[in-house]
Amino acid sequence: MLDGGPVLEYIRRSKDDKKSAILLTGYQVEDTNGRMLMDTGSIEIEGEIEKVNCEVCHFDFSAHSGHDELVAFAEGAQPDEVILVHGDNREELAEDIRSFAKVHTPELIDTFSY
């Protein structure tokens, strides 16, 4: 997401080089440097907003499945029960899966035995 580490120095050194490019691979979360770069062509480095003049390209190589893909996968697996432990909106996903399986959305301290 370009919010820390050596990548910021690499960007600082190459941002004005027309022969350079920044290749973003995957989803860039709201309120991150990666999203700011995609949306505005600028990035924050050490508290300063700096214009990036080299080429910026985005490739969606995300390994995350979307809502519809997850429902289709779960339905195809024909489970009796599904445990959802990760995701932005587990309850919405759980609602769609409940039509064919019992769904659990555990909290941090919950345990299961089978």
What's the domain range around 76?
A: 67-104
Based on the structure, what is the number of domains in the chain?
Answer: 2
77-90: average pLDDT: 88
Does residue 96 sit within a domain? Answer: yes
User: Are the beta carbons of 49 and 43 closer than 8 angstroms?
Assistant: yes
Task: Clarify whether residues 50 and 21 are in a common domain.
Answer: yes
Determine the Cα–Cα distance for residues 38 and 99; give it in Å rounded to an integer: 39
The token pair that represents 3 in the structure block:
């919010």
pLDDT interval class at 73 (50, 70, 90): very high
Residue 90 is classified by DSSP as H
Tell me the pLDDT tens digit for each residue of 5-63.
999 999 999 999 999 999 998 889 899 999 999 999 999 999 999 999 999 999 987 77
Task: Clarify whether residues 12 and 50 are in a common domain.
Answer: yes
The token pair that represents 59 in the structure block:
């490739």
> What pLDDT sits at residue 61?
78
Task: Clarify whether residues 75 and 49 are in a common domain.
Answer: no
Does residue 45 sit within a domain? Answer: yes
Does residue 111 sit within a domain? Answer: no
Segment (H or E) for 22: strand 21-25
Determine the Cα–Cα distance for residues 114 and 110; give it in Å rounded to an integer: 14
Does residue 112 sit within a domain? Answer: no
